[in-house]
Amino acid sequence: MRGTRIDQNQWPFPSRQPFEGRYMSLALLSEAHVSDLWIHAATAPTSFDYLRYGPFADKSVLTALVKDLSNRADQPFWAVLDVNGRACGWLSICDVSQEDGAFEIGSIWFAPCLQGTRAAREAIFVLLQYGMDDLGYERLVWRCQTQNEASFKAAVNLGFTHEGTWRNAAVVKGWQRDAAWFSILKSEWPAKRDAFEA
């Protein structure tokens, strides 16, 4: 069998735009969010254990990182704002393959006060919905270090299917770790979306 015939050969690149939800909003990440983010980042150094950046010696180091992230041409970043408009995390669309109709939601950092909340789930759902419903992508990806139990459980709870593990896939802050891969396919999305909305 050759596979599944797809007539489309190019998908639009995700645009940089804000999103409004019931429990949070997504704004394009910028240096204007640093003061809010620093309040959380400074008191939660272990929340960066599985990221290639952080924790930060001082606010200027976080400012430099946010400046870098917000200016990546091939990776749009959003700040997650609570109902009072305060930034309490960020996430991005990365590894976009316009020829294959696939992208990853990654480089996620949520402050402890955001983790496991409806706002956190909605932030991810908004980008899933954008990718599937608005842009018509075929595959959305979640990748995490297998040792990051919270992220692994989040992927499962969000409805992603675990596809497998790349052993010794990365060295992060001196630790060699495995990478777990997850996906949601276009054919699966309607049922996943209904479950999210419910």
Smallest CA-to-CA distance from 149 within 120, 122, 116, 174 is with 116
Per the DSSP assignment, residues forming a β-bridge with 177 are: 170
Q: What are phi and psi of 122, to 5 degrees?
A: -65, -35
Amino acid residing at 66: V
**Residue 150 identity (one-letter amino acid):** A
- Name the H helices within the chain: 34-41, 59-70, 118-129, 149-157, 189-197
Distance (Å, rounded) from C-alpha 183 to C-alpha 142?
6
**Residue 177 identity:** R
> What is the rounded CA–CA span in Å between residue 61 and residue 54?
9
**Residue 48 burial by Cβ neighbours in a 10 Å radius (0-12, 13-18, 19+):** middle
For the whole prediction, is pTM greater than 0.85? yes
pLDDT one digit per residue (tens) for the chain, 198 residues? 688 898 899 999 999 999 999 999 999 999 999 999 999 999 999 999 999 999 999 999 999 999 999 999 999 999 999 999 999 999 999 999 999 999 999 999 999 999 999 999 999 999 999 999 999 999 999 999 999 999 999 999 999 999 999 999 999 999 999 999 999 999 999 999 999 888
Domains identified in the chain and CATH numbers: 19-197 (3.40.630.30)
Per-residue pLDDT at 71? 97
How far, CA to CA in Å, does 136 sit from each of 11, 92, 171, 185, 192? 7, 18, 34, 11, 15
What pLDDT does 38 receive?
98
pLDDT at 2: 85
User: What is the reported pLDDT for 198?
Assistant: 86
Give me the pLDDT at residue 66, please: 98
The radius of gyration of the chain from alpha carbons, rounded to an integer in Å, stands at: 17
Nearest alpha-carbon partner for 58 in 38, 73, 74: 38
Q: What is the pLDDT of residue 185?
A: 98
Per-residue pLDDT tens over the stretch 20-31: 999 999 999 999
